[in-house]
Amino acid sequence: MGINVYRCLPRFEYFAPTTVEEACSLLRKYGAEAKVVAGGTDLLVDMKRRKSLPRYLIGLKRIANLNGITFDESKGLTIGAMVTLQSVINSVPIRERFGLLSSAALKIGTPQVRNMGTVGGNICNASPSADLAPGLLVLDVRLKLISADGERIIPIADFFAGPFKIAIDEGELLTEIQISIPPPRSKGCYKWVTKRTAVDETLVGIAALIALDTKDNICSDIRLGLGSVSPTPMRAIRAEELLRGKRVEDKLIKEVAVLAAKEADPRSRADYRRRMTEVLVVRAINEPLRNIK
Amino acid sequence: MKELIELKVNGEAYQVSIEPWKTLLEVLRETLNLTGTKEGCGKGDCGACTVLLDGKPVNSCLLLAIESQGKDILTIEGLAQGGQLHPIQQAFIGHGAIQCGFCSPGMILSAKALLDNDPQPSEAEVRQAISGNLCRCTGYTKIIEAILAASKTGVNGERI
């Protein structure tokens, strides 16, 4: 199973493409025997555990144009797949307009890991407890995937196929994350509790985005992203419907939280995870409400 | 299988012939004999292997040496200048922040990265900056004191 970590990596052949085209052609050529390496903070650990044994490693660090963060009032936010988690935290537009992503990134790892790990790597590792995923789901982000055959853009909700599985074709590379501006009069946040182990893996992670009507306290939109409580990160669709279009009231928020906990499908520590889902959904809705002007 | 690469470590350029699966940590310790950087967990949790890469703290146990080319690498050996210890090193000694010393290289480099970016951090910011460096011996109190003391040393405008 590999709880233990070998001191050395297994053998592999290494390539350092300088363009996306080169990387995709290598991926196509070597298929299942190849893996791309972004920051290495997940893959290299798996390789040291001998859980992952790619014959070919395709390094992405030398590819230009995957490191950018661009923000535009009309087009929204684009984050290159190789942007590090620390760059997300340092980014002023992200902090000001998409703050729940900054909070989520700050939860991950350590300062060293955040200087190495990437947004694309975190998404594609697809851990059920991944911290960026709930916020990305709530922001309805789109992912740009490029292969030798062309490109496609898919909603992130379609990308998580199972624990550590993504709906990516062999030969495809994630290059960009596209995020539209949230509705006016909206705010979001990310709340979490951890497993209290050495690694502090997230036990329950709740991202919320809530938007209010222009005049009063009618909720024009509510989105809830749940992490670490199901095989893949998920949206609590039915819970959202309870509040959308209704006046915001404590009693209703509590009902939303109870339904979100029911929609969750945790594998282990299920009782506690459902209980904490309820608690965190209430907090995750109330905090942004206090900040909406 | 071996490839000739160039690594810039502590201001010096080294040509080394290594396999692609060698981590930066392995090359620093075993090829360059710079054994100040330590291996603790090998998986990015403990921070004993911390080096600065273009001024940013990273876990050298999870970096491929072959991908560390073209960067400025700073190890603990690169801190003292002309036989003089760096103010952070002096503060660690002066404040009892070193017991067994195993975490110290990584800890001191994380502190240097913090103070280079923010010469007058709050205690909370110091704690956050060393949150990726585990210490089995000291309980962190003296380490945090030393870093805060080192930061106040720089108050007369000297960059530390």
Are A29 and A81 within one domain? no
- Residue A215 has a pLDDT of 79
Are B14 and B74 within one domain? yes
Evaluate whether residue A2 is within a structural domain. Answer: no
Evaluate whether residue A1 is within a structural domain. Answer: no
The CATH number for B58's domain is 3.10.20.30
Angle of helix A270-291 relative to helix A250-263, nearest 10 degrees, comes to: 140
Residue B19, pLDDT > 90, answer yes
Residue contact A111–B63, C-beta within 8 A: no
For residue range B31-76, list pLDDT tens digits in order: 999 999 999 999 999 999 999 999 999 999 999 999 999 999 999 9
- Residue A293 has a pLDDT of 79
Nearest-Cα residue of chain B relative to residue A111 = B132
Point out the domain boundary residue: A140, A156, A179. A179
Q: Classify residue B77 by its DSSP letter.
A: G
Residues of chain B in contact with residue A118, where contact means CB-CB under 8 angstroms, are none
CB under 8 Å to A281, separation ≥6 — which residues?
A: A206, A208, A224, A236, A239, A253, A256, A257, A260, A261
In the Cβ-directed half-sphere of A257, how many Cα atoms lie within 13 Å?
Answer: 21
Point out the domain boundary residue: A154, A179, A204. A179
CA–CA gap between residue A223 and residue A156 (Å, rounded): 14
Residue B107, pLDDT > 90, answer yes
Sign, CA torsion A280/A230/A195/A272: positive
The CATH number for A248's domain is 3.30.390.50
Are A173 and A74 within one domain? yes
Quick one: how far is CA A72 from the chain centroid? 21
Nearest-Cα residue of chain A relative to residue B43 = A45
Q: State the smallest CA–CA distance between residue B157 and chain A in angstroms.
A: 25
Are A79 and A108 within one domain? yes
As a whole number, the mean pLDDT across chain A is: 96
Residue contact A9–B39, C-beta within 8 A: no
Neighbours of A79 (CB within 10 A): 27
Are A159 and A76 within one domain? yes
Residue B86, pLDDT > 90, answer yes
Point out the domain boundary residue: B78, B103, B137. B78
B60: left (phi over 0), alpha (psi -120 to 50) or beta: alpha
Evaluate whether residue A6 is within a structural domain. Answer: no
- Residue B153 has a pLDDT of 57
Q: Which of A55, A89, A110 to mutate to test the interface with B (most CBs of B within 10 A)?
A: A110
Evaluate whether residue A251 is within a structural domain. Answer: yes
Q: Which of B45, B52, B53 to mutate to test the interface with A (most CBs of A within 10 A)?
A: B45
Are A49 and A79 within one domain? no
CA–CA gap between residue B115 and residue A197 (Å, rounded): 29
- Residue A55 has a pLDDT of 98
Q: Which of B1, B2, B3, B21 to mutate to test the interface with A (most CBs of A within 10 A)?
A: B21
B157 confidence band (pLDDT: 50, 70, 90): very low
- Rounded to 5°, the CA angle A172-B64-A35 comes to 20
**Which two structure tokens, joined as six digits, stand for A180?**
């539209």
Are A137 and A200 within one domain? no
For residue range A50-93, list pLDDT tens digits in order: 999 999 999 999 999 999 999 999 999 999 999 999 999 999 99
Residue contact A14–B63, C-beta within 8 A: no
Alpha helix (H) residue ranges in A55-189? 85-90, 92-97, 99-107, 111-116, 119-125, 132-138
The structure tokens 């998580």 sit at A160
Give yes or no for A36 touching B (CB within 8 A).
no
Chains A and B form CB pairs within 8 A to the count of: 84
> Do residues A217 and A237 lie in contact, with contact meaning Cβ atoms separated by under 8 Å?
no
Are B13 and B57 within one domain? yes
Are B72 and B91 within one domain? no
Point out the domain boundary residue: A153, A179, A205. A179
**Which two structure tokens, joined as six digits, stand for A100?**
């729940």
Q: What share of chain A in percent tops pLDDT 70?
A: 99
Residue A126, pLDDT > 50, answer yes
Residue A96, pLDDT > 60, answer yes
pLDDT (mean) for A230-237? 98
- The terminus-to-terminus CA distance of chain B in angstroms comes to 42
Q: 3-state DSSP: chain B helix, strand, coil percent, rounded to 5?
A: 40, 20, 45
Q: State the smallest CA–CA distance between residue A15 and chain B in angstroms.
A: 9
Range of the domain at B10: 3-78
Residue contact B45–A110, C-beta within 8 A: yes
Are B92 and B145 within one domain? yes
The CATH number for B98's domain is 1.10.150.120
Are B64 and B26 within one domain? yes
The CATH number for A81's domain is 3.30.465.10
Are B10 and B64 within one domain? yes
Evaluate whether residue A227 is within a structural domain. Answer: yes
Residue contact B64–A7, C-beta within 8 A: no
Residues of chain A in contact with residue B38, where contact means CB-CB under 8 angstroms, are none
Q: Classify residue A61 by its DSSP letter.
A: T
Number of domains in chain A: 3
Are A172 and A202 within one domain? no
Give yes or no for A26 touching B (CB within 8 A).
no
The CATH number for A28's domain is 3.30.43.10
CB under 8 Å to A162, separation ≥6 — which residues?
A: A126, A231, A232
CA–CA gap between residue A154 and residue A278 (Å, rounded): 30
Residues of chain B in contact with residue A198, where contact means CB-CB under 8 angstroms, are 45
Are B66 and B102 within one domain? no
CA–CA gap between residue B27 and residue A12 (Å, rounded): 17
For residue range B122-147, list pLDDT tens digits in order: 999 999 999 999 999 999 999 999 99
Q: Which is nearest to A120 in space by CA: A197, A43, A213?
A: A43
Q: Which residues of B touch A (CB under 8 A)?
A: 1, 19-23, 26, 39, 41-45, 47, 50, 53, 56-59, 62-64, 66-67, 110, 113, 128-129, 131-132
Residue contact B50–A112, C-beta within 8 A: yes
Are B7 and B72 within one domain? yes
Evaluate whether residue A35 is within a structural domain. Answer: yes
Residue contact A5–B43, C-beta within 8 A: yes
Q: How many residues does chain A have?
A: 293
B155 confidence band (pLDDT: 50, 70, 90): very low
Burial class (CB in 10 A: 0-12, 13-18, 19+), B140: middle
Sign, CA torsion B10/B11/B16/B22: positive
Are A198 and A256 within one domain? yes
CA–CA gap between residue B52 and residue B74 (Å, rounded): 5
Alpha helix (H) residue ranges in A131-225? 132-138
Point out the domain boundary residue: B58, B78, B98. B78
Q: State the smallest CA–CA distance between residue B34 and chain A in angstroms.
A: 18
Are A133 and A228 within one domain? no
Evaluate whether residue A24 is within a structural domain. Answer: yes
Residue A165, pLDDT > 70, answer yes
Range of the domain at A20: 13-59
Are A117 and A84 within one domain? yes
Number of domains in chain B: 2
Residue A198, pLDDT > 80, answer no
The identity of residue B82, as a single letter, is: G
- Rounded to 5°, the CA angle B143-B147-B153 comes to 145
CA–CA gap between residue B65 and residue A8 (Å, rounded): 13
Are A221 and A239 within one domain? yes
Are A174 and A210 within one domain? no
CA–CA gap between residue B71 and residue B122 (Å, rounded): 30
Are B8 and B74 within one domain? yes
- The terminus-to-terminus CA distance of chain A in angstroms comes to 51
CB under 8 Å to A259, separation ≥6 — which residues?
A: A236, A238, A239, A242
Evaluate whether residue A3 is within a structural domain. Answer: no
> Do residues A211 and A140 lie in contact, with contact meaning Cβ atoms separated by under 8 Å?
no
pLDDT (mean) for A38-52? 97
A214 confidence band (pLDDT: 50, 70, 90): confident
**Which two structure tokens, joined as six digits, stand for A250?**
């404590």
Are B24 and B63 within one domain? yes
